[in-house]
Structure 1
Amino acid sequence: MLVDLAAIQRNFRKLAQITSGTCAAIVKGDGYGHGMREASRALQSIGAELFFSARFEDALTLRADLGAGPRIAVLDGVSPADMVEARARDIIPVVNSLEHLQVISAVAKQTAQRVPAFIHLDTAMNRLGLASEDDEYAEPLLASCRVQAYMTHFASADDVDIDLCRRQVSRLTERAQPLPRAPFSIANSCGVFLGSELHGDIIRPGKSTFGISPLADADNPMEQPATILAPVVQIRTLKKGDPVGYSCTWHAPEPRRIAILAIGYANGFMRDNSNKGSVVFCGQRAPVVGRVSMDLTAVDISALPETGAHVGAAAEIVGSTITYREVAETIGTNEHEAIIALGRGCKRFFVNRGANV
């Protein structure tokens, strides 16, 4: 997996230029499979000052890598057991429940200092965040916080459900009205492209920073930073009727040449690619034949010249021809899952480490 850090930087700059507020760097899921640490350093070098991770341990890694400058927040919150370390490392919790807010209040009393926190008000997701019935209990406890922003998360921006997005913004505005004044953090990647009325003061575009299309049914305005290649480790010539792979789910309809690639589901090339995925050699497609196994995949190269697919040649799994979206649609999932799986399973190499574009 070859990751172009300059492409990540260009994506972030483009997103930051769309909003009049702050653009946060969302680096959860190991930077959506692209490498959290390397991507975060690249984003810091072009001025990113607010980072969100999903887990506390990732926030600790970011603080060690990025130094004391940027704000670093944890979307899933910080557990009571980790609050002392979070305060010592200047890591900001996102408050997702009344119980969490009570812990923050207790810490503030013990230290005689208000605790910086983002306050998540749930307005439709019913996942994380303070419910509306918590508000009357939360209001007095917020005196213990230095509220960085009130945030919510769109439930159906991906589906361009603008009416629901607007209702969520309205609910957030209404619920925050009696609370201590603070900025709003609203738009995710999809929301950024649905109009400035949905942005708030801090946008949180995660997937689009890493080249994943913000809107499912529209052209992707972002650059794909990753190219994933797999080497050919063997060429085989099959007779008519010869099977390939586990359970013999494919048989050669006539004499065929197949290439065996050193990639499989252990590398994030999902088993659902069996008999329906494809790879590319020098701009020409080669379909996956037989079952994808743990470390190996067979593709039919009968239509390709021998000079195009040979032992040692590289097959494009993701790149200029095969988009993130295509990889995801082939296996019936979203781009996040597909690319994160490949990012976890494939060795990563980074280019343009010193880019500041």
Structure 2
Amino acid sequence: MLVDTGAIQRNFLKLKTLTKGRCAAVVKGDGYGHGMRPSAAALHQAGADLFFCARFEDAATLREDLGVGPNIAVLDGIPQSLLHDAAKLGISPVINSLPQLEAAHDFANSSGERLRGFVHIDTAMNRLGLSAQDLGRARRLIPGIAIQAYMTHFASADDIDLELCRMQVQRLKDACRHLPPAPLSIANSCATYLGNEFHGDIIRPGKSTFGINPLPEGDSPVEQPATVLATVVQVRTVNKGDPVGYSSSWRAPTARRVALVAIGYANGYLRANSSRGQVAIDGQIADVIGRVSMDLIAIDVNELRPDLVHEGTKVEIVGPTISYRRLAQQAGTNEHEAVIALGRGCRRVYVSQASGGYGRSSACGNGW
């Protein structure tokens, strides 16, 4: 996987121009598969001074990498046993429940130090966050917290459900009327493109920073930072009726040229792509045939020029021709899962380019 940190920086700076408030960098999911540490370093260099990650261990790593300057927050909250360490490192919990709030309150009482934190109020997601029923008790505990912001998370901004989004914004504002004043953090990537009424004071565009299209339809307004290329290791001809791959799930309708490519589900190319995925060679599409196996896929290259496909040919898994969205749709999933899987399974190499896009001859390490 070749990752352009320059594209990540440009995406962040573009998103920053869309809001009148502050733009946070969300680097959970190992930077959405692009690598948390190098991505965060690039974002910090681009001016990001507020980072959200999922786990305390990730936050501690970011603090070590980025130094004392930026604010770092943990979206899942921080266990009571680690609050002292968090305070020492200047890491802020996102407080998602009464037990977490009570733990932060007890820490303040025992240490004499108000813990800096974000307070998450659930307004429709029914996942993390204080419920409406929690707010009475929360009002008595929140004064023990140095609140960075109140936040909520949209349930259906991706679906452009404006009615629900407006209801969630109003619910957050209503909940905060009887709480100590603090900024509001509302918009995710999709809501950032819905307009300022959905932004609050701090936007948290995660996926769009990493090139995942925040719009439900049409061209993406952000750049894809990653290209994944794999290597053809064999080209063979199969006869009409011959099976390819495990369980003989695909049989040749006619005599076909087939290329075997060195990537599989061990490298994050999802098994769901079996007989439905597509890849590209020099911008031309080739279908994945048969089962995706651990380290190999087979592709039908019968319609491609013979001189174009040979041992050593580079095959685009995702890049200029195969977008993140196309990669995800052919596997029946979302871009997050598809790209994170590749990021976990492929060796990453980092570059920083002045403008988006890669030449089709670009290769990455041992082929992926």
Are the aligned partners of 2:272 and 2:331 in contact in 1 as well (CA < 8 Å)?
Answer: yes
Alignment size in residue pairs: 355
> 1:105: how far off?
0.5
The TM-score with structure 1 as length reference comes to 0.98
> 1:307: how far off?
2.1
> 1:257: how far off?
1.2
> 1:235: how far off?
1.2
- Residues 136-175 of structure 1 mapped to structure 2, 5 A cutoff: 136-175=136-175
Letter in 2 for 1:249: S
Cα distance in 2, alignment partners of residues 337 and 202 from structure 1: 26
Cα distance in 2, alignment partners of residues 25 and 285 from structure 1: 35
Letter in 2 for 1:181: P
Deviates more, 1:36-45 or 1:269-278: 269-278
Letter in 2 for 1:33: G
Cα distance in 2, alignment partners of residues 141 and 96 from structure 1: 13
> 1:354: how far off?
10
Are the aligned partners of 2:278 and 2:330 in contact in 1 as well (CA < 8 Å)?
Answer: no
Matched with 2:248 is: 248
Are the aligned partners of 2:259 and 2:300 in contact in 1 as well (CA < 8 Å)?
Answer: yes
In percent, how many aligned pairs have the same letter? 59
- Residues 255-334 of structure 1 mapped to structure 2, 5 A cutoff: 255-334=255-334
> 1:218: how far off?
3.6
Letter in 1 for 2:115: V
Matched with 1:51 is: 51
The runs of at least 4 consecutive aligned structure 1 residues that moved more than 6 Å come to none
Cα distance in 2, alignment partners of residues 29 and 219 from structure 1: 24
> 1:215: how far off?
2.1
Matched with 1:61 is: 61
Deviates more, 1:37-46 or 1:271-280: 271-280
The TM-score with structure 2 as length reference comes to 0.95
Matched with 1:18 is: 18
Are the aligned partners of 1:42 and 1:353 in contact in 2 as well (CA < 8 Å)?
Answer: no
- Provide structure 1 residue ranges, at least 5 long, that are not aligned to the other structure: none
Matched, 1:37 2:21: no
> 1:353: how far off?
8.2
Cα distance in 2, alignment partners of residues 42 and 96 from structure 1: 29
Are the aligned partners of 2:7 and 2:353 in contact in 1 as well (CA < 8 Å)?
Answer: no
Matched, 1:96 2:120: no
Are the aligned partners of 2:227 and 2:319 in contact in 1 as well (CA < 8 Å)?
Answer: yes
Are the aligned partners of 2:24 and 2:50 in contact in 1 as well (CA < 8 Å)?
Answer: yes
Change (3 A) 1:251 1:354: closer
> 1:85: how far off?
1.0
Letter in 2 for 1:186: I
Tell me the secondary structure at the aligned position of residue 308 of structure 2: coil
Tell me the secondary structure at the aligned position of residue 307 of structure 1: helix
Are the aligned partners of 1:186 and 1:204 in contact in 2 as well (CA < 8 Å)?
Answer: yes
Matched with 2:128 is: 128
Cα distance in 2, alignment partners of residues 44 and 126 from structure 1: 32
Letter in 2 for 1:344: R
> 1:104: how far off?
0.3
Cα distance in 2, alignment partners of residues 178 and 239 from structure 1: 74
1:22-41 deviation digits (Å, cap 9, x = unpaired)? 00000000000011100000
- Provide structure 2 residue ranges, at least 5 long, that are not aligned to the other structure: 356-368
Matched, 1:239 2:234: no
Tell me the secondary structure at the aligned position of residue 288 of structure 1: strand
Cα distance in 2, alignment partners of residues 349 and 161 from structure 1: 38
Cα distance in 2, alignment partners of residues 307 and 89 from structure 1: 58
1:167-196 deviation digits (Å, cap 9, x = unpaired)? 111111111011111000000001100010
Cα distance in 2, alignment partners of residues 140 and 353 from structure 1: 51
